[in-house]
Amino acid sequence: MRPFLLFTLCMPALTPLPFWADGPGQTQFVDHCAACHGLHALGGNGPDIQGSTLRDVTVATRGMDQMPEIDLSEAERRAIAVYLMSLSPEIAAQKLRFESQIAR
Ligand code: HEC
């Protein structure tokens, strides 16, 4: 009983990060995007893309001017977007509001 209680009390301290912080999206981002956009998506050869939504990621991965086309599944794009939105929830919220206005 006692060790279990201790374990339960420690759980929040052991998991201080949101579930996506080290999730598949971050791995996908590091594998496919970080070389150009920086490890924290703050920019490098490519621009700062923190807060990018699924729509942004989908449009960009079709290929842009200097951004290459990158073949990812919808699940992968979604995971990357969740990760990028988690890095800047305020920007993400603004983008989602804007998207909901133009998407009709
Ligand atoms: C080879 C370098 C490179 C890689 C790899 C790359 N990007 Fe880019 N990305 C760019 C550049 C450069 C731009 C700026 C637009 C342009 O010139 O094409 C850009 C633009 C973008 C934009 C639009 C930003 C804006 O403000 O309009 C998004 C979103 C984006 N990239 C997401 C991604 C994601 C997600 C990945 C990984 C799946 C990725 N990029 C991989 C170079 C790259």
Calculate how far, in angstroms, residue 59's C-alpha sits from the geometric centre of ligand 1. 10
Question: In this structure, is residue 2 part of a structural domain?
Answer: no
pLDDT band for position 103 (cuts 50, 70, 90): confident
Residue 35's CATH number: 1.10.760.10
Q: Which atom of ligand 1 sits closest to the CA of residue 64?
A: 18
Question: In this structure, is residue 6 part of a structural domain?
Answer: no
Domains in the chain: how many in total?
1
Tell me which residue has tokens 């060790």: 3
Pocket of ligand 1 (CB under 6 A): 32-33, 35-37, 45-47, 49, 52, 56-57, 60-61, 64-68, 70, 80
pTM of the prediction?
0.84
- What's residue 95's pLDDT? 96
User: Crossing angle for the helix pair 74-87 and 54-61, nearest 10 degrees?
Assistant: 120
Q: Which atom of ligand 1 sits closest to the CA of residue 29?
A: 37
Question: In this structure, is residue 96 part of a structural domain?
Answer: yes
For residue 56, give its domain range.
Answer: 19-102
Average pLDDT over residues 17-45: 87
Residue 94 clears pLDDT 80, i.e. is over it: yes
Average pLDDT, the chain: 87
Q: Which atom of ligand 1 sits closest to the CA of residue 56?
A: 29
Residue 72 clears pLDDT 90, i.e. is over it: yes
Distance CA 104, CA 49 (A): 25
- What's residue 16's pLDDT? 47
Q: What is the dihedral of CA 20, 40, 86, 55, to 10 degrees?
A: -110
Question: In this structure, is residue 1 part of a structural domain?
Answer: no
Question: In this structure, is residue 12 part of a structural domain?
Answer: no
Question: In this structure, is residue 98 part of a structural domain?
Answer: yes
Q: What is the pLDDT of residues 6-29, one digit of tens each?
A: 555 555 554 445 544 568 999 999
Question: In this structure, is residue 28 part of a structural domain?
Answer: yes
Question: In this structure, is residue 4 part of a structural domain?
Answer: no
- What's residue 23's pLDDT? 81
